Amino acid sequence: MSGKQKKVLVTGGGGFVGSHLCKALLEKGQRVICMDNYYTGSEKNISHLLSDENFKVINHNIIDSFDLEVDEIYNLACPASPPHYQKDPIYTLKTSVWGMLNVLENARRYGAKVLQASTSEVYGDPTLSPQSESYRGNVNTMGPRACYDEGKRVAETLCYDYNKSYDVEVKVVRIFNTYGPQMHPEDGRVVSNFILQALQNKPITIYGDGSQTRAFCYVSDLVDGFIRFMDTERKVTGPLNLGNPREMTIKQLADAVIELTNSASTVEYLPLPVDDPLQRCPDISFAENLLGWTPQVILEDGIKNTIEYFSNVSKS
């Protein structure tokens, strides 16, 4: 390990991305505290880390304040899949906004740095593509996605204002669709749904006509970008897009999953959810220039790893 050992808090560390982040930070020799209430995450995601003496777990809801002396905070706590964040929109808003306030207050108290897991959803249903950080977005404040989109937008603003008013060091990452092992089998997001359906030879559920686009980033690339961004100069607050710029239609993703699983699944077309963004693709030039970062894992390899994970989960 280079430099002093840091004490790092990962809220949402029991979730899909958080569990990979905890592991990567431990591998770098840091002391890691995982804070989670397991709303969508699982203790299973971090069970392989429990034997590490540098790893500690706290069961806590970030809607309630907390007091922890740490050097860095990665704030990932928030349901991320549309069915989960829409189940209880007030909870999602409280987690995003009150949770963010509690994280920033704790950071202010101890002079800690904060990396906020924001989202490409702040761009809403974008009217231009690819989306760069300067795009202000097209969010429907009354729609079913608003609790998440607007919650994350307010959380971003809190970060910038704590930085300006109290000099709290903040780093805001706008994450684009990320996938990989440890997604919850009932997560409801497209990659896990398609892989599980394909493995069971069940119909692949495409919402709408499948022409809407997304660009999928493998989780190890995202985590690498997080850690690089946390280490940037104090004045760099973001927002910073992190994602894989290989845009594809949802029908193309379905075809790729069917091929890679060698599945007999057919495709079933279901209604497109209200306000589902029709196109999404990150402009990552800022991340490339600032961090020297570019995604390394191609979709076919990432999907194969995720297929292997879900094959083992369904056996256990």
Residue indicated by tokens 């997001």:
189
Residue 79 binding ligand UDP, by CB under 6 A: no
Query: What DSSP designation does 44 have?
Result: G
Sign of the CA dihedral 224, 230, 235, 237? Answer: positive
Query: Shortest Cβ distance from residue 205 to ligand NAD (Å)?
Result: 18
C-alpha 300: how far from chain center: 20
Residue 262 structure tokens:
């060698």
Catalytic residue status for 38: no
Residue 91 binding ligand UDP, by CB under 6 A: no
Point out which residues bind ligand NAD (CB under 6 A).
11-12, 14-18, 36-41, 61-63, 76-80, 95, 99, 117, 119, 175, 177-178
Query: Shortest Cβ distance from residue 33 to ligand UDP (Å)?
Result: 28
Helices and strands in the chain: count of H runs, count of E runs: 9, 13
Comparing CA positions, the residue from 59, 166, 158 lying closest to residue 110 is 166
Residues 213-242 binding ligand UDP (CB under 6 A) are 214
> Residue 272 CB: number of other CB atoms within 10 A?
16
The one-letter code for the residue type at 196 is L
Q: Which of 206, 227, 230, 284 binds ligand UDP (CB under 6 A)?
A: 206
**CA dihedral angle for residue 275, residue 279, residue 281, residue 282, rounded to 10 degrees:** -40
- Count CA atoms closer than 13 A to 129's CA, side-chain side: 17
Residue 122 binding ligand UDP, by CB under 6 A: no
Determine which one of 39, 74, 85, 148 is catalytic. Answer: 148
Q: Which of 129, 273, 275, 290 binds ligand UDP (CB under 6 A)?
A: 273
C-beta closer to ligand UDP: residue 114 or 250: 250
Residue 126 binding ligand UDP, by CB under 6 A: no
Residue 212 binding ligand UDP, by CB under 6 A: yes
Q: Which residues bind ligand UDP (CB under 6 A)?
A: 81-82, 177, 189-190, 193, 205-207, 212, 214, 250, 273, 276
